[in-house]
Amino acid sequence: MVLKKQFSFSKQLLKSIWYTFQSGINLFTLLKSVRNSEHSYLNDGNRKINYAQLYHDSFSVIEKLRTFHSNQIDDQVVLLADNSFDFIKYLFALSALTKEIVIISPHVSENQLETILQNYRSTLIITDHIQRLKNINRQSNCYSFDEINSYNPHVATKRFKRNNGKITILSTGTSNMPTPVERKLNITKIWNPFIELISRLELLRYSSCQITVPFYHGYGLASLVLALFLKQDIHFTGKFSSKVIAQSIINNRIDCLVILPAMMTKIIAADYQALGICKCLISGGDKLEPTWVSFILNQYPTTKIFNLYGTTELGICSIATQQDLIMNNSTIGRFLKGIKYRLQENQELQIRCPWIQDRSKRQYLSTGDFIRMDKNGLLYYLGRMNDSSNIGGHIVHGDELAKKITAYPSIIEARVIIYKNEILTPELRLKLTLKNDAVFDQDDFKNWLDKTFPKYLQPKSIDYSFK
């Protein structure tokens, strides 16, 4: 069975390379190369479509976009949406038409979104949150999926030219504001990590996957693209629900579960048996607690677990295999081939590798992390260099967040405390010092927090006292 998949993989690889000469290096070219895989499908929990139908639907979107707003799609288009078939179709269609797709999470705060959209005043924005954007942006360059889907082009699309596009994901960075992270589909640069991911994670052994991470997150998007290339059955949901995902695992006998560590504990709580059905768990985007590694190894002996470590700019840097985690449950594994590294005296990790975009290959970049390497070559994450922490795959800067919270009229001082709850998931606590004569309404304050900061920066508890 594995030999058959290896042959199929080699054939698929050659086919993809051939299509890049015809259509350019983009995601639509990838979809074109797998469109005849009629038995492979995508399933959002409500509807199932095979790869052939996805290709047909994506091509239909191309026809609509080329006549609907052809003058606005050449250089840059913003895609702001949750996981859905529409997101996937438009992602692949746009990759054939535009030089750059900018992907933005629809769950940034209202103030953040308003600031972000100032950089895209003349850019076409396609979304499933149309009313929210029109209230904020108040411009005519925003369109919903439904508006474009209902459009009927009058002429058939002519053959379109080759397009080598790029994808920019607005990821969390400094100042608790999304920062652009560019991903170019350069085959020569991503070859090593691509092949090593497939090899170390043993992905050719699996026929289906459940992606629980949003596609607007780099980890989720990479999982979608890789699963499609491997012609796996892809299961996903619009929004995370531990009960829905646990049921999907059981009903569909999912082979591979792509997940954030915080989601893992919730799925166990929803249905204890679910993870035992999976052949492998791939954890990434946040620290995987050693306690949970040991729990998985002991409670689900037939389920392999892998732990991925990476940075916002570089993507995945190291992989801990099942055998690595058996040796030490806190390891983040070993570097991918091609990565050159420096561990400074203070254990700061600096890296250079061929797939850093638009930077000199000779330049070492700081990851902002403290890392230790043992005598066996296994790596261990020791924490961040600054006051930042990773919460659910998002970088949180506690001091900067506290400073911004003091902008609220009645607050003199704010302290952001990051703690681990009973299932070892990091959460935020807020301690406020108020002016003596202040009138403080906690509901009004929570509404202000909701408007000013995204969901992952909302505190689980708020304590306050007067000066």
Confidence of residue 391 (pLDDT cuts 50, 70, 90): confident
Task: Find the mean pLDDT for residues 355-371.
Answer: 73
pLDDT in tens, 312-359: 777 889 999 999 999 999 999 999 988 889 999 999 999 887 766 455
This prediction has a pTM of: 0.86
CA distance 389 to 402: 14
Of 120 and 319, which is predicted with more confidence?
A: 319
Please give the pLDDT value at position 10: 64
Checking if the pLDDT of 70 tops 50, the result is: yes
Instruction: Indicate the DSSP class of residue 365.
Output: E
pLDDT in tens, 247-270: 999 999 999 999 999 899 899 999
CA distance 342 to 349: 6
Measured at the CA of 134, the angle between CA 133 and CA 136, to 5 degrees, comes to: 65
CA distance 231 to 10: 12
Task: Find the mean pLDDT for residues 182-193.
Answer: 65
Checking if the pLDDT of 361 tops 80, the result is: no
Please give the pLDDT value at position 25: 65
What distances in angstroms separate CA 96 from CA 34, 91, 161, 358, one per listed residue?
16, 9, 8, 22
Confidence of residue 173 (pLDDT cuts 50, 70, 90): very low
Please give the pLDDT value at position 119: 84
Please give the pLDDT value at position 308: 96
Please give the pLDDT value at position 115: 84
Instruction: Indicate the DSSP class of residue 161.
Output: P
Out of 63-77, 169-183, 238-252, 335-349, least confident range: 169-183
Please give the pLDDT value at position 42: 97
CB atoms within 10 A of CB 272: 12
Checking if the pLDDT of 378 tops 50, the result is: yes
pLDDT, averaged across the chain: 85
Task: Find the mean pLDDT for residues 393-404.
Answer: 82
Percentage of the residues of the chain whose pLDDT score is greater than 90: 48
CA distance 406 to 404: 5
Out of 121-125, 310-314, 352-356, 367-371, least confident range: 352-356
* Sign of the CA dihedral with 380 first, then 383, 389, and 394 last: negative
